[in-house]
């Protein structure tokens, strides 16, 4: 086994491994090519608890203050978290600075024929306006007649500095407590893009 260096090539004849320090291999290439790292931040989490109304959320019935994250319990699997990563309060703390992909889906029921809609989005450090001051939310359940809303899902690419956090925080949820989400059918996941 050897590494050969030519004019513009670094060539290994077996797995090519990168080692900052003497013990870890945070990145290597298998001998048949794929890049592998069990240190790149990634996680997948499931919500726990049953039906939750607006007034079950942190901030109570105040529209625009519905924080999903700590109203549910969470179970998760993750890698590359270091001193950060997923927390029991439903916040994902960035292990490193960079762009992260996040995804959330849940299960939404409108209890009557009113416009019990929800804007679904993430927040950065609890701030709705995480994307250059704007809140790029979608909308679900506006006027859905007493039934389950199609979906509901949201995803994004968010820049986080090390230690900053992302959580699910709808910028608006109609506060009359006539619509609800089922926590145990919810999932929150993400990874460092680069």
The answer to the question of residue 107 lying near another protein (CB under 8 A) is yes
Minimum CB distance to another protein, residue 133 (Å): 27
What gap in Å lies between CA 73 and CA 85, rounded to an integer? 16
Minimum CB distance to another protein, residue 110 (Å): 10
The answer to the question of residue 10 lying near another protein (CB under 8 A) is yes
HSE (side-chain half, CA atoms, 13 Å) at 77? 3
What gap in Å lies between CA 94 and CA 33, rounded to an integer? 28
Find residue 166's DSSP bridge partners.
Answer: 92, 124
Minimum CB distance to another protein, residue 171 (Å): 21
What gap in Å lies between CA 108 and CA 152, rounded to an integer? 7
Neighbours of 11 (CB within 10 A): 10
Q: Which stretch binds another protein (CB under 8 A): 6-14, 59-67, 115-123, 163-171?
A: 6-14
Q: Which stretch binds another protein (CB under 8 A): 11-19, 90-98, 124-132, 167-175?
A: 11-19
What gap in Å lies between CA 190 and CA 42, rounded to an integer? 6
Minimum CB distance to another protein, residue 188 (Å): 9
What is the sign of the dihedral through the CA atoms of 54, 129, 165 and 190? positive
The answer to the question of residue 115 lying near another protein (CB under 8 A) is no
Residues of the shown chain interacting with another protein in the complex, contacts defined by CB under 8 A: 5-16, 20, 29-40, 42-48, 75-77, 79-80, 101, 103, 105-107, 144-153, 155, 184-187, 189-192
């Amino acid at each position: 086994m050897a590494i050969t260096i030519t004019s513009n090539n670094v060539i290994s004849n077996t797995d090519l491994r990168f080692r900052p320090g003497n013990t870890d291999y945070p990145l290597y290439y298998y001998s048949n090519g794929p890049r592998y790292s069990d240190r790149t931040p990634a996680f997948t989490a499931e919500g726990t608890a049953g039906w939750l109304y607006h007034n079950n959320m942190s901030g109570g019935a105040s529209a625009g203050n519905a924080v999903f994250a700590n109203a549910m319990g969470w179970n998760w699997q993750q890698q590359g978290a270091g001193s950060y990563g997923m927390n029991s309060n439903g916040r994902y703390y960035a292990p490193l600075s960079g762009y992260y992909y996040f995804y959330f889906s849940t299960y939404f029921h409108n209890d009557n024929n009113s416009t019990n809609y929800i804007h679904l989005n993430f927040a950065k450090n609890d701030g709705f306006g995480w994307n250059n001051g704007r809140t790029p939310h979608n909308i679900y359940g506006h006027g859905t007649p007493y039934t389950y809303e199609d979906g509901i899902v949201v995803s994004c690419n968010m820049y986080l500095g090390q230690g900053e956090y992302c959580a699910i925080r709808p910028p608006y949820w109609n506060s009359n407590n006539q619509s609800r989400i089922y926590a145990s059918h919810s999932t929150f996941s993400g990874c460092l893009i680069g």
